[in-house]
Each structure stands twice: as C-alpha cells, then as structure tokens.
C-alpha cells in the first residue's frame, strides 16, 4: 500500500486491513462470510424498533428476507422510506452487516428503512440479487399504507455493490414503470464490469477493495456461463439512457478503484438532466467510512444524513 497519501486519521488501522483476498471458489467465499458473520455486532439503539419479515420474490423466486426499522417516536403523518441494499462485492454482506447503519438512518432521518437480504453470487449470479431488490421495492410501494409510508417519498440506497444494485433497481423501476423513486443514494457504487477506468487500473493493492477483488466480484456476479453483452441492469455504467432517473447523491473515495466509475456515472446523469450531488473525499479508501473516528468519515456521515433529510422532506 505504499505510495498512497492516505489521511493521517487512518494510519493506525491501515496495517491491519486486508488487501487482495482470495475469492476464487465458493468454499473460500463461504468461509469468509462465516468469519465476518462471527464478528460481534453493535448495540441496538433505544430509539429504533426492528422487525424481520419475508416478502414475496419475483415470480418463481424464493421469498426475500427483509429487516424493517422504524423510529420509536414517529412524526405525525406518513413517513418517508429508504430501501437499503448492503454491499459486499455481490458475494458477501447481509442485513446484519448493515444493521448499525440502518438503525442510524431510521433514528436520525426519522424514516422507515427496509433492508434487503438479497441472494448472493456466486451461488446466485445476476439477475438473482437484482430481482430480489426490485421485488422488495415493489412490495414496499404496494404495502406503503401498512408500513405507514408515503408512496411518493420512497428512496433507494446502497453502498459499494449495494450502490450498483441501487442504481440498477432505479433503472429497472424506470423502464418497467414501477414504483416512482424520489431519490437514489449511491455510496461508493460498483457500476462497471469493464474495469477500464484510470482508478481501476491504478489501485491494485488498496485496502479492503482493489482491482483483483473487483475482477473476482464481476466474474462471480455475471456467472461462469455468461457470454455476449453485459446487461446495463447488471452494470449500470453500460446504460446508454440515464434520463428520467430520480435525483441522486454519489460519493467516491480518493484511493478506491471504484472512484472513477462513480464520478463518471454522476456526470452522465447530470448530462441527462438528472439532479445530482457528487462528493469525493480526499485521503480515503473504499470502506474507510466504517472508521468513524476519522474526520472524513464524520463529514461523510453528516453529509449523507443531511442529504437524506433534505431529499425525503424530513428536515427539522
């Protein structure tokens, strides 16, 4: 990891962070999942209630587990809602891994959060995960009254691969004339299978995510039998029409191989007439926001929560 001008706030954690990880087989990936699942979870907030449910999948697909978060003290009237999609390179992650974040969003934004436990690659390559995310979005919109949610204030959000799935879900909702999203929050999104941007070529040994990891991610997500063109619903960077998408916030970290594809997607949405906020954070790397002591992480969190409040109409 030499040669990267990481912010000094991260210098103590960097030596312990993994770089290139062996994602070559299902067995190795499952072992990594088990190791991460065994890590202790955070403490539940007193001002948020949680409910685990399963909702119908797409036709012929299994049910999709979700976790629903509500602030204990609800404001009058219908609430806004965030459908949250976890990250993990399409191969890892869970609603448990997103639990602390979802609790914070529910409490600080004052909204309902529906977190999606979508099927993972390589066992379930594209479009399984996306189908699950879209099914949950549609279920949320149909059951808005039951959830106490305003159907006109439903947003989609995701981090990393979850950001890519959120972008793809927004494309799918537009093209299928599905639920009308009011906003899309795309944090450090994974969007482009071509791996041709300058940042993707340069950052081959950065912590937590780098080009070798991205290569395995796309190989597993697209599936061993993939041939021919890649669908823009798998890799939203390939979409040729970005018009009529919901307003977006896109974040990018300086030393992240996904940096440039996020920036380029934001610029293309702007060119297509979509309202976009774009913020890059210097001295950071993919996943650095999970270290809340860093000034960049605090600024990132404050800005993300503030953006959600403004876009969802929950500003105090």
Q: How far is it, in rounded angstroms, from Cα 46 to Cα 43?
A: 9
Residue 202: is it exposed, middle or buried by C-beta count within 10 angstroms (0-12/13-18/19+)? middle
Q: Would residue 251 show up in a list of annotated catalytic residues for this protein? A: no
Q: Which of 99, 251, 260, 286 is catalytic?
A: 286
Q: How far is it, in rounded angstroms, from Cα 221 to Cα 315?
A: 38
Q: Name the token pair of 283.
A: 């001295």
Q: Which of 131, 132, 150, 256 is catalytic?
A: 256
Q: Would residue 160 show up in a list of annotated catalytic residues for this protein? A: yes
Q: Would residue 231 show up in a list of annotated catalytic residues for this protein? A: no
Q: Name the token pair of 81.
A: 């809602």
Unique residue bearing structure tokens 């080009």: 211
Of the CA atoms within 13 Å of residue 134, those in its CB half-sphere come to: 24
Q: Where are the beta strands (DSSP E) in the chain?
A: 48-55, 64-71, 79-85, 112-116, 149-159, 183-187, 248-255, 276-285
Whether the CA torsion 100, 234, 232, 117 is positive or negative: it is: negative
Q: Which of 97, 160, 217, 231 is catalytic?
A: 160
Unique residue bearing structure tokens 């070559």: 24
What residues are annotated to the active site? 160, 256, 286
């Amino acid at each position: 990891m030499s040669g990267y001008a990481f912010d000094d706030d991260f210098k103590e954690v960097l030596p312990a962070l993994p770089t290139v990880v062996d994602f070559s087989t299902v067995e190795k990936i499952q072992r990594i999942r088990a190791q991460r699942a065994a890590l202790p979870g955070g403490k539940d907030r007193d001002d948020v209630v949680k409910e685990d449910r399963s909702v119908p999948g797409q036709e012929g697909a299994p049910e999709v587990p979700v976790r629903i978060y509500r602030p204990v003290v609800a404001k009058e009237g219908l609430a806004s809602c965030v459908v949250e999609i976890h990250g993990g390179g399409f191969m890892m992650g869970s609603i448990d891994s997103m639990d602390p974040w979802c609790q914070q969003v529910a409490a600080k934004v004052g909204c309902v959060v529906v977190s999606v436990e979508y099927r993972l690659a390589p066992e379930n390559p594209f479009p399984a995960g996306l189908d699950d995310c879209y099914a949950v979005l549609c279920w949320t919109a149909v059951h808005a009254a039951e959830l106490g949610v305003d159907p006109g204030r439903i947003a989609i959000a995701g981090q990393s691969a979850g950001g890519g799935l959120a972008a793809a879900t927004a494309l799918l909702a537009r093209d299928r004339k599905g639920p009308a999203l009011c906003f899309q929050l795309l944090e450090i999104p994974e969007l482009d299978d071509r791996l041709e941007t300058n940042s993707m070529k340069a950052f081959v040994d950065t912590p937590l995510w780098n080009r070798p990891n991205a290569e395995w991610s796309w190989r597993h997500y697209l599936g061993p039998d993939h041939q021919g063109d890649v669908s823009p619903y798998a890799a939203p960077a390939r979409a040729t029409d970005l018009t009529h998408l919901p307003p977006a916030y896109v974040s990018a970290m300086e030393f992240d191989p996904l940096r440039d594809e996020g920036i380029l997607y934001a610029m293309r949405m702007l060119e297509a007439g979509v309202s976009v906020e774009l913020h890059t954070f210097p001295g950071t790397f993919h996943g650095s926001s999970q270290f809340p002591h860093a000034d960049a992480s605090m600024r990132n969190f404050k800005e993300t929560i503030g953006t959600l409040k403004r876009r969802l109409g929950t500003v105090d």
